């Protein structure tokens, strides 16, 4: 299935539900840099699948752009198979950012929504 520039949040949620609950850099960010107090011990997958599913009137691109959890952004990148050097750079940039808003901005500067879609298209062709 080829993806356009954007997709429905429900479709993206369904796609994320098929992914691993943990990936290296998102877990490392949680353990070494910042563990959000709002996670209640849940995996990034347990957080992101319902988060996207509950945004039924939004696009996945919009939700990705509004997400304010750096570990979640890293998890999404890893879940869609963004190449490891790119995710590693995004992790380091986020680690140096200082606060969660700047960390999320740093990740999205390295891994844009268009990169997410491109990776999905590359893996599904």
The string of pLDDT tens digits covering residues 63-115 is 999 999 999 999 999 999 999 999 999 999 999 998 989 999 999 999 999 99
pLDDT at residue 57 in the model: 87
Does the pLDDT of residue 124 top 70, yes or no?
no
Q: Is 4 part of any domain?
A: no
pLDDT at residue 68 in the model: 93
Residues 21-38: tens digit of each pLDDT: 999 999 999 888 876 666
Q: Is 65 part of any domain?
A: yes
Domain assignment of residue 77, given as a range = 9-124
Number of domains in the chain: 1
pLDDT at residue 125 in the model: 40
From residue 47, alpha-carbon distances to 2, 13, 89, 124 in Å are 26, 10, 23, 24
**Which tokens sit at 109?**
């500067």
Place of tokens 């990148």: 77
Residues 36-57: tens digit of each pLDDT: 666 677 899 999 999 999 998 8
**Which tokens sit at 7?**
């997709």
Q: Is 66 part of any domain?
A: yes
Q: Is 2 part of any domain?
A: no
């Amino acid at each position: 299935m080829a993806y356009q520039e954007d997709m429905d949040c429900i479709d993206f949620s369904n796609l994320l539900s098929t992914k691993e609950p943990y990936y290296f850099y998102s877990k490392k960010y949680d353990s070494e840099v910042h563990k959000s107090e709002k996670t209640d011990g849940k995996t990034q997958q347990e957080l992101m699948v319902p988060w996207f599913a509950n945004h039924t009137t939004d696009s996945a691109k919009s939700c990705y752009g509004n997400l304010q959890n750096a570990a979640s952004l890293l998890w999404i990148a890893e879940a869609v198979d963004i190449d490891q050097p790119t995710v590693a750079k995004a992790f380091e940039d986020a680690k140096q950012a200082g606060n969660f808003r700047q960390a999320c901005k740093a990740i999205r500067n390295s891994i844009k929504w268009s990169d997410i879609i491109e990776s999905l298209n590359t893996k599904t062709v």
